[in-house]
Chain A
Amino acid sequence: MLEIRELNVYFGVIHALKGISLTVNDGEIVTLIGANGAGKTTTLRTISGLIKPKSGTISLDGVDITNLSAKERVKLGISHVPEGRRVFPAMTVLENLELGAYLRKDKQGIASDLKKVYEHFPILYDRRRQSAGTLSGGEQQMLAIGRALMSRPRILFLDEPSMGLAPLLVQEIFNIIKSINESGTTILLVEQNASMALKTADRAYVLETGSIVISGSGEELAQSEEIKKAYLGG
């Protein structure tokens, strides 16, 4: 479904992504793990159009989207839960969610998706009139995911969704990711919590200082000694 070839990204002189290639197939959960500063966030931001790559191609369903604007990518079904949540702080929870459906016109669809989000995250319903900036860290994370779901994406990027969440919720979030996936959304997941991520994912890529060093199925990597040592604290 998503195919990335030889992506190179620079920040001034910093070569942040060094010719990355990866694919995500329809219906998969793919995870991208790696140490701090490896370039995971940069990869996601490039795919969703927030950063312009120096070279390389990104294609969705065989269509080259490298030069499309972020807006057009959203239209094509990409949705991105950014690092650090990035909710709209001065807007209410409800308004945030509505903005997630900005490009959609089907009122009924939006309403039913809103209901679904509230089912996933009941606390958001309780807080729907509170401004998002005053939510607790975890609440904001839920809001960010909920907001992304509101565009009814075909492929969802999640950048460290478990960061700052209570243990119960971490499990919950991964369950939700699974159920979102099961309901037909393809997922590209960036995580620090590598053990959970590998458990959840069908396939995984390991990123180190801007290059992909290992890839394989989730289980495979979870067993790998190297990975265990570097990322699983084992």
Chain B
Amino acid sequence: MKLLEVKKLTKSFGGLMAVSNVSMVIDKGELVGLIGPNGAGKTTVFNLITGMYSPSSGTITLFDGEQGKPIQGQKPNKICNAGVARTFQNIRLFRDLTVLDNVRIAMHRSVKYRLLSCFVHSPGYRSEEQRIIDESIELLKIFNLDGKKDELARNLPYGEQRHLEIARALASRPKLLLLDEPAAGMNPAETAQLSEIIRKVRKLFNLTILLIEHDMSLVMKICERIYVLDFGSVIANGSPDEIKSNERVITAYLGEDAIDA
């Protein structure tokens, strides 16, 4: 069953075609990789899907069951509320807030009380706040961050910041999660740990995941299907094994002796 369909997506900056004519389909429950050389347009695809940019042309459709809804060009918060969450290539946490607050903010979407009742803190308000805290802590537990819930995000080590970003993205209860280089800056041990976590949350939250990553050990290990982008266009699409042996991908991206991992 389709969850996301991208059709003929194009984005140009001035004369530069960052993304050109990209079409892809992601089914519900899949874990799909998006790889390609630096500057191929991967992050731009994410930015288009999440509404950070509006496309020059093309459509992006998000499915709810059979029902498809175009989301291109909408504001990021709308798209998030439609069920798409993301992390950023350059970590963008709320650095001066606590770990707990980072997650709580992202739960805003599910908050049930009205604007006026938050002025007086009615009983309903209080139980709802408690729910938010409880659920946030549950979420942090998955990432082993519950013990640090009162620390400022900026004071976390890099790896934990990446984890927190994923936790925050999950807090909005997305159907589709976009991860932009989650393993960047991590050492192999940490990367291994990350892949475990990705597996776990995927099961737990019934997630569909689209993942950008340059660490092939991670990508090849966990992705079921991979799209390869080069100069803004899809040059290959297939299972990890197919991709590994694709000549075009090897010359453009992987290099001859990269697949020892």
Contact = CB atoms under 8 A, between A and B. Distances in A.
Interface of A: 35-37, 84, 123, 130, 134-139, 141-142, 160, 163-171, 192-195, 229-234
Given A194-B187, A230-B189, A164 B89 contact: yes
A11 to B, nearest CB: 11
Interface string B35-75: 11111100100000000000000000000000000000000
B79 interface: no
A86 to B, nearest CB: 12
Contacts of B192: 233
B214 interface: yes
B191 to A, nearest CB: 7
Contacts of A163: 184-185
Interface in B1-56: 13, 16, 35-40, 43
Contacts of A36: 157-159, 185-187, 190
A195 B189 CA distance: 12
Contact of A233 (B158, B187, B257): B187
B253 interface: yes
A130 B16 CA distance: 10
B158 A167 contact: no
Interface residues of B, number: 33
20 contacts: A37-B158, A134-B13, A135-B39, A136-B38, A136-B40, A137-B181, A138-B37, A164-B38, A167-B253, A167-B254, A168-B253, A168-B255, A168-B258, A169-B37, A169-B38, A171-B257, A192-B185, A231-B189, A232-B189, A233-B187
A37 B185 CA distance: 11
B39 A233 contact: no
A163 B258 CA distance: 16
Interface of B: 13, 16, 35-40, 43, 89-90, 157-159, 181, 184-192, 214, 216-217, 252-255, 257-258
Contacts of B39: 123, 135-136, 138-139
Given A37-B157, A168-B258, A195 B188 contact: yes
Given A164-B214, A195-B188, 8 more contacts: A84-B90, A136-B40, A136-B43, A139-B39, A164-B185, A165-B214, A167-B253, A229-B189
Best-buried of B36, B40, B43, B188 by chain A (most CB within 10 Å):
B188
B61 to A, nearest CB: 26
A229 B190 CA distance: 11
Nearest to B187: A192
B47 to A, nearest CB: 12
